[in-house]
């Protein structure tokens, strides 16, 4: 319970801070905030880059991001509708398998008691 409360408090404070700073306002305010953040963090990032020998790949361009977003969105929509189209088939197959399993489980054993006793001897 305490773990949930701590996580909720952290999330709530993060949301409050972003709203207070204007992240969710119009795009010009957000752009100004981004520029301010970039200026404040850039000296530390330079030092961090010197300490870490790994070079990060450049971010994709806006055109590429737009294309990727559209591509994956459309893929998700297609997969969702493919699932919905196949849902009756999968549901009927599951119902048949469940019915067969339950009916086989409820059937009495086919072996007679005499056969069982002969196997024990």
Torsional sign, CA 8, 11, 16, 19: negative
User: Does residue 62 surpass a pLDDT of 80?
Assistant: no
Residue 24, C-beta contacts closer than 8 angstroms, at least 6 positions apart: 18, 30
* 3-state SS class at 25: coil
* 3-state SS class at 53: coil
User: Does residue 111 surpass a pLDDT of 70?
Assistant: no
How is residue 106 written in tokens? Answer: 């409820």
User: Does residue 56 surpass a pLDDT of 90?
Assistant: no
What DSSP assignment string belongs to 29-55? HHHHHHHHHHHHHHHHHHHHHHH--PP
Provide, rounded to the nearest whole percent, the portion of the chain with pLDDT above 70: 87
What is the per-residue pLDDT for 13?
93
User: Does residue 114 surpass a pLDDT of 60?
Assistant: no
Model confidence pLDDT, tens digit, residues 11-53: 999 999 888 877 788 888 888 888 888 888 877 777 777 777 7
């Amino acid at each position: 319970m305490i773990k949930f409360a701590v996580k909720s408090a952290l999330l709530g404070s993060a949301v409050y801070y972003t709203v207070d700073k204007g992240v969710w306002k119009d795009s010009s305010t957000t752009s100004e905030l981004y520029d301010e953040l970039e200026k404040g963090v850039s000296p530390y990032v330079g030092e961090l880059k010197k300490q870490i020998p790994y070079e990060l790949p450049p971010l994709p361009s806006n055109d590429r991001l737009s294309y990727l977003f559209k591509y994956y969105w459309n893929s998700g929509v297609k997969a969702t509708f493919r699932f919905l189209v196949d849902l009756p088939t999968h549901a009927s197959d599951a119902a048949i398998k469940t019915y067969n399993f339950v009916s086989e489980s409820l059937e009495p054993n086919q072996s007679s008691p005499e056969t069982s006793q002969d196997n024990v001897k």
